[in-house]
Amino acid sequence: MTDFVIRLFITGIMALCFSFLFIEEKHPQAEIDGTNNWIWPAEGIITDTYGTRHGQHKGIDIAAAYGSPVYAVDNGVISKSYYSNSYGHVVFIKHPNHTETVYAHLKKREVMEGQFVNQGEIIGEMGNTGDSSGVHLHFEMHLVKWTYRKDNAVDPVLAFGDVSKGSTVYALNKEENAVVAASKINQQKNEQDNHDITIKSHQVMDGETLWSIAEAYHSSVESIRQKNALENEQIFVGQTLLISIGENKQGYSLNNRSLKSSQSSKESHHEKGSQIKPYEVYLLQK
């Protein structure tokens, strides 16, 4: 009996050691081959990155204005183009380097399954369809092919380079971003200085309403609704909103005269405050 236990133990150890010979790292942390010249799929602000939400977020989120163009990151063939309850309007592209990319929550799709697309070709428009809590593009990258369990998902920064939440990205490849992005940022900063308007992203906190957020940013509910294509005043905890800073209620740049007008309007708003019943933030995490 003792000899049998010893032999069984030795067999188990040998089997374990043998299995190590075939274990490979599933998702390499080095740059993915064939992605050197990939371009970002949209221009906007990074609002979420890969691996968040307890590891369940298998892509990267880019927020911009409703209807902003969404581009193919590289040449490829449309493998899927349809509507789902989770992804909303979504497009899948298979690329020559044996990767498949996903573009979700689109306002609309401009391509069909089986169609060949060139890098930079517009495949859809940024939207808020499916299981989405705000206007943005949810982008995923998969080795070989997409699966329902997203077993082959990898972090898109392996293709585009490292970015963090709040970063601004442009539809350019890595080398172009390094040179041109700085120029674009300076250009936008000059334009914003001239017009006293800038765009900020705000993540909705527990207890906030559109009214309180608009008040905090000296903006208006209507301006925030238009910027984020909101059908009503319902917002959700964790939702990311784009807000124009420096606009009055009509959407014009604020100057001294309009600041006084805004203050008068604010006083009038407080006088009528008892008649206004803003929606409460729904305690849902999207």
For residues 138 and 246, membership in a common domain is answered with no
pLDDT of residue 156: 93
Q: Given 126, 155, 187, which residue is the final one in a domain?
A: 187
Q: Can you give the CATH number for the domain in which 247 is found? A: 3.10.350.10
Q: Given 138, 163, 187, which residue is the final one in a domain?
A: 187
Q: Is residue 232 part of a domain?
A: yes
Asked which of 130-139, 150-159, 186-195 is least confident by mean pLDDT, the reply is 186-195
Spell out the residues 6+ positions from residue 268 whose beta carbon is closer than 8 angstroms to its own.
Answer: none
The average confidence (pLDDT) of the chain is 76
Residue 266 has pLDDT above 50, yes or no: no
- Full residue range of the structural domain in which residue 239 is found: 196-275
For residues 177 and 220, membership in a common domain is answered with no
Q: Is residue 30 part of a domain?
A: no
Q: Report the number of distinct structural domains present in the chain.
A: 2
More confident residue, 122 or 213: 122
DSSP state of 127: B
Residue 205 has pLDDT above 50, yes or no: yes
For residues 146 and 54, membership in a common domain is answered with yes
Residue 20 has pLDDT above 60, yes or no: no
Q: Is residue 145 part of a domain?
A: yes
DSSP state of 51: T
The amino acid that residue 107 corresponds to is K
Q: Is residue 124 part of a domain?
A: yes
Residue 162 has pLDDT above 50, yes or no: yes
Whether the CB-CB separation of 73 and 101 falls below 8 Å is answered with yes
Q: CA triplet 133, 61, 226: central angle to 5 degrees?
A: 50
Distances (CA, A) of 138 to 25, 29, 187, 204, 277: 26, 21, 27, 19, 33
Residue 136 has pLDDT above 90, yes or no: yes
Residue recorded with tokens 């390499």: 28
Q: Give 96-115 pLDDT, tens digit per residue.
A: 999 999 999 999 999 999 99
Residue 204 has pLDDT above 60, yes or no: yes
pLDDT of residue 251: 44
Model pTM score: 0.60
Spell out the residues 6+ positions from residue 107 whose beta carbon is closer than 8 angstroms to its own.
Answer: 66, 67, 89, 124, 125, 126, 127, 128, 129, 229
